[in-house]
Amino acid sequence: MPGNLMFILWRLLGFGDDRQLYDRVVRLETKAETTDSDVRTLFGKVDDLTRRVDANGEQTRRELSADIRVLSEQVGEFRGGIKLANWIAVTSIVLVTGLLGWGQIGDAAWSACKHLFGYS
């Protein structure tokens, strides 16, 4: 019956008694109310979607941060391994060079001693 009440108000306000015009206005108002309701529903869904995207983004940031921490630790271990290998290589080179140098000094001293004492 709200439609009839609206029709009576329509006539009292002086808009005439054109039932077709009235029906068109009623349909238009109904569509406007439906559209308004649909827009409110859509805004609610957009808000929900925005919250979900934010939550997923935060979860992704946490996962990426954890992965980056793990990779940083692994890179640190790898660098440590490279430094150790480098230290071992340099130490070996120094020792071998030193031993060869002392060996040459020893050979020279031995040759000098043999020569001095007449064993050559």
Geometric angle at alpha carbon 70, from 64 and 73, rounded to 5°: 140
Residue pLDDT, tens place only, 53-103: 999 989 999 999 999 999 999 988 888 889 999 999 999 998 888 888 888
**Rounded (10°) CA dihedral 71, 77, 81, 83:** 100
Region 22-51: what's the mean pLDDT? 84
- Domain ranges in the chain? 2-116
Residue type, 53: V
CB 120 within 8 A of CB 114: yes
Q: What secondary structure letter does DSSP report for 9?
A: H
Distance CA 96, CA 98 (A): 5
CB 24 within 8 A of CB 7: no
| DSSP run (H or E) holding 72 | helix 19-116
Residue 1 pLDDT > 50, yes or no?
A: no
Of 10, 35, 14, residue with least CA distance to 23: 10
Residue pLDDT, tens place only, 7-27: 666 666 666 666 777 677 778
